[in-house]
Amino acid sequence: MKMPGNMQGMMKQAQQMQERMQAEIAAIRVEGSAGGSMVNIKMDGHKNILGVKIDPEAAGDAEMLQDLVLAACNDAFRKVEEISSKKMSGMLGGMGLPPGLF
């Protein structure tokens, strides 16, 4: 089924925007931290953990270390969500879509 020319153009534009958005999200890098930077977690835009840095002082107390790692992961996750939302809002804002649709 052939779409009208304007619709084909809009679909192509939407696909290009989606590809650009995915590339921008993939390029996101954040660092979450906890315990005054005793634990640092590096994360990408797809929420993959890229690295963990633990201050040797934190390693002595297993329960505290577990809490710090969890808090640092949550901090990094929150930062990825925040940056991704801003990027998506910026890109989708120019399309004239109703707010809150994405």
Domain spans of the chain, in order of start = 27-87
pLDDT at residue 27, rounded to an integer:
92
pLDDT at residue 96, rounded to an integer:
56
The position carrying tokens 């835009």 is 45
CATH of domain 27-87: 3.30.1310.10
- Average pLDDT on 61-86 reads 95
Of 34-38, 58-62, 71-75, give the lowest mean pLDDT range. Answer: 58-62
| pLDDT tens digits, 41-53 | 999 999 999 999 9
Single pTM value for the model: 0.73
DSSP 78: H
- Average pLDDT on 73-102 reads 77
Residues 47 and 69: their CA atoms lie apart, in Å, by 15
